[in-house]
């Protein structure tokens, strides 16, 4: 073989190798995911964030084609788990089971936030919301919110409400209710969990509770153990369609939904974000999955995408900031 042919063949081989090198990143990106995905739940196992995250991740493993490994990282009102995701590689292999707790409430009440929910995360989807409500003991002589307001004004300083704990969505709902109705003398009694508060409500030890509307509270109302006066949502709940929302009882700003969704570290490639979002839409379209969420006290969000999820998060931060300031929440 003469020298000219060798040179021509060498140039062709070099061109082929350069093309392959250039194509490799696109090929790798197209094959996402190739490895298991860490799905960090910033709350303890068995809590609402963990339950919603596990239900979603189980179905996502099938639709996305990669195993989801649930990792509970508790502490700091959910902030420790959020920090771990914010600092993770932006490659789509570490995701956050994010909620309004750590991405809105804990962030807003922190004197020195450890992260910025808008700039340190890429929103993927909002899957569901849990909605708290104002519930009263069956022995309290009120059946509607107007009747409760009238009763409280006629009996100043005599009412108290229980919640699952300080800083929970139930507590925030109760404080928002007090602000909107002007019933600022109602005393907050924090419990270690919603079930403990409900047990005292059933027994008449406390007249009011602000906690999540769920199958448990629906069944308790049917059994005559309590009355659910209002749900702090934007629309009536699929799992509790007979409970009015704030807008229907004269308080349209009584909205205290706590969202659950999925978030990635900032700068995660948009193509990966869209791929996860597309798989999530298939999960959310499954009626059996929707039923599972409702049974566990969640209201499914069926039309979320990355842009809508990001806009929703921004609105929640803007909405909650003045409420928390007026209630005196600050770390």
Domain boundary among 248, 283, 311: 248
Q: Residue 72 is part of a domain; what is its CATH number?
A: 3.40.190.150
Mean pLDDT within 280-299: 93
Residue 14 in domain: no
Quote the CA–CA distance of 186 and 179 in Å, as a whole number.
Answer: 10
Are 163 and 57 within one domain?
no
Are 123 and 136 within one domain?
no
Which pLDDT score is estimated for 11? 42
Mean pLDDT within 289-298: 90
- Each residue's pLDDT tens digit, 105-142: 999 999 999 999 999 999 999 999 999 999 999 999 99
**75 pLDDT above the threshold of 60:** yes
Taking the mean position of all CA atoms in its chain, how far away is CA 196? 22
- How large a percentage of the chain has pLDDT more than 90? 76
Which pLDDT score is estimated for 289? 94
Residue 314 in domain: yes
> What global pTM score does this model have?
0.82
**215 pLDDT above the threshold of 90:** no
Residue 194 in domain: yes
Which pLDDT score is estimated for 280? 97
Are 124 and 264 within one domain?
yes
Which pLDDT score is estimated for 260? 95
Q: Given pLDDT bands bounded at 50, 70 and 90, which one contains residue 331?
A: low
Tell me which H or E stretch contains 40.
strand 37-41
Q: Residue 197 is part of a domain; what is its CATH number?
A: 3.40.190.10
Residue 125 in domain: yes
Average pLDDT over the chain, rounded to an integer: 89
Pick the more confident residue, 290 or 22: 290
Are 159 and 300 within one domain?
no
Are 182 and 99 within one domain?
no
Domain boundary among 189, 219, 248: 248
Q: Count the domains in the chain.
A: 2
**Residue range(s) defining the domain that contains residue 163:** 132-248
Domain boundary among 202, 221, 248: 248
Residue 5 in domain: no
Are 217 and 296 within one domain?
no
DSSP notation for 247-286: GGTT-TT----EEEEEEEETT--HHHHHHHHHHHHHHHT-
**23 pLDDT above the threshold of 80:** no
Cα-only R_g, the chain: 24
Mean pLDDT within 226-253: 95
């Amino acid at each position: 073989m003469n020298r000219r042919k060798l040179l021509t063949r060498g140039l062709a081989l070099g061109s082929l190798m350069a093309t392959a090198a250039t194509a490799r990143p696109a090929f790798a990106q197209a094959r996402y995911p190739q490895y298991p995905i860490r799905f960090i739940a910033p709350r303890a196992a068995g809590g609402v964030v963990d339950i919603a995250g596990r239900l979603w991740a189980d179905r996502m493993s099938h639709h996305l084609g990669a195993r989801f490994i649930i990792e509970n990282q508790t502490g700091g009102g959910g902030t420790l788990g959020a920090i771990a995701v914010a600092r993770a590689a932006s490659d789509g292999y570490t995701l956050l089971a994010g909620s309004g707790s750590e991405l809105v409430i804990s962030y807003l009440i922190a004197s020195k936030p450890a992260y910025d929910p808008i700039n340190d995360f890429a929103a993927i989807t909002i899957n569901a919301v849990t909605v708290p409500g104002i519930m009263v003991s069956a022995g309290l002589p009120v059946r509607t919110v107007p009747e409760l307001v009238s009763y409280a004004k006629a009996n100043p300083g005599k009412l108290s409400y229980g919640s699952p704990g300080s800083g929970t969505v139930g507590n925030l709902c109760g404080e928002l209710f007090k602000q909107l109705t002007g019933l600022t003398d109602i005393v907050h009694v924090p419990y270690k969990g919603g079930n403990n508060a409900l047990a005292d409500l059933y027994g008449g030890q406390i007249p009011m509770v602000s906690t999540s509307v769920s199958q448990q509270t629906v069944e308790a109302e049917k059994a005559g153990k309590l009355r659910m006066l209002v749900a702090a949502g934007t629309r009536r709940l699929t799992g509790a369609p007979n409970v009015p929302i704030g807008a229907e009882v004269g308080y349209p700003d009584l909205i205290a939904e706590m969202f659950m969704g999925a978030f990635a570290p900032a700068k995660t490639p948009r193509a990966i974000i869209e791929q996860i979002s597309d798989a999530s839409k298939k999960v959310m379209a499954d009626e059996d999955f929707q039923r599972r969420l409702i049974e566990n006290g969640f209201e499914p969000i069926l039309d979320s995408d990355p842009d809508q999820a990001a806009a929703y998060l921004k609105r929640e931060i803007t909405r909650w900031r003045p409420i928390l300031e007026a209630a005196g929440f600050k770390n």
